[in-house]
Amino acid sequence: MTFLMTFLAIQQPPVTHPAVDVCSGSAFFCQVNYASLTATLVSIALTILLGFYVASRLDSRRPGRLQMVFELLAGYTRDQLRITVGHAPPAIAFPLALTLFMYILIANWIAFLPLPEPLAPANTDFNQTLAMGVVVFLAAEVYAIRTRGVLGFLHHLTRPFDLPIWARAGFTVINIIEEIAKPVTLALRLMGNIFGGLIMLWVLTVMITSLPVPYVPYAVSAALVTVWKLFDVFFIGTLQAFIFFLLTIIYFGQAVEGHDEHAH
């Protein structure tokens, strides 16, 4: 029973991300969220180690199961880029989408472990997810400008083109807002789902174990926490990694959407 109480106690989700000062100045530049940074570094290290492990065991004659999974995932990524972009995708699109998928997947999956306080899954921090969203946004926008040209990119923001110029002014504002909102929506979707899973853990631990019944609430809570983590970490965590991965590819496709027809 002592083990159950200890196990449940460390499952309570943090509602804040503690930061430390690393220099004297503005908090925006001089504060570091050490809990999120540590969780991020752990996730990055595991992603890199997994990549090197798979690379070290490559065998074209007798591929292992893990190699076949990676080859299947790589082939699916190439097919989606070919379908979505419509022509030769940028060189950065394939490694960026695939790396983000593996990193987010691992960062979500390690949440199944009872992380000690004050650590929390890396993707529960909006700063972390926003950084990934901004990287995807900038890569897609640079690709759009290189493909369309600066004037073509600006002209694309005035769509729909079947309306007269004076009527497209309002749509131009909407299109600009839509572009700027892309990294924010990417970040909020991922962070909200992962953080929501931690809030649910709090419900399953604090509220149930506070019932005035000896021992039974701890056993019930431990069972519910296990079931919820299996669903939340492995299913929701995998789904959110796939959504981020797929939206990354879609944003590259939107960057050149209608370019061939307009050029023709």
pTM over 0.75: yes
Question: With the CA atoms of 79, 85, 86 and 91 taken in that order, what torsion angle do they form, in degrees rounded to the nearest 10?
Answer: -80
Residue that the structure tokens 């943090």 belong to: 14
Mean pLDDT for each 10-residue chunk of the chain (264 residues)? Answer: 44 59 69 81 92 86 85 92 83 93 92 71 88 94 90 85 78 88 93 86 70 63 80 91 94 78 49
pLDDT of 138 reads 95
Residue 239 confidence (pLDDT): 94
What local confidence, expressed as pLDDT, does residue 251 receive? 93
Q: Is 145 exposed, middle or buried (0-12, 13-18, 19+ CB in 10 A)?
A: middle
